[in-house]
Amino acid sequence: MKWRWTCLICYLVICIYDFVVVPVYYGVARMGLDLADYMSHLQEIEDPIVQLEYLKKLVSQHEPFTLKGGGLFHLSFGAILTGSSVMGKKD
């Protein structure tokens, strides 16, 4: 019975980290960016492809790690937690 709670808490901590903590950090870190410094550094780069990648960092958004791969992480945790609660009613 204790492993179910451990699994649930682990899943919740991962989801809170992936959907709350990292996006907030991503936004706060971008707000602290000095735009004039960023643009002057961008102008020093000669390769246009490198400039484009550097600009993407300014306008990109966080992509949750657990949603990569079609959300297989959430499907597997859902199967584990659902299966354990349905099959383990006798505990």
Domain ranges of the chain: 2-86
Q: In the Cβ-directed half-sphere of 37, how many Cα atoms lie within 13 Å?
A: 4
Determine the pLDDT at residue 89: 62
Distance CA 47, CA 63 (A): 27
Determine the pLDDT at residue 35: 80
* The one-letter amino acid at 35: L
Mean pLDDT in the chain? 86
pLDDT tens-digit readout, 20-46:
999 999 888 877 778 888 888 889 999
Segment 76-83 shows an average pLDDT of 88
pLDDT(91) > 60: no
Confidence of residue 82 (pLDDT cuts 50, 70, 90): confident
| Structural contact between residues 81 and 4, judged by C-beta atoms closer than 8 angstroms | yes
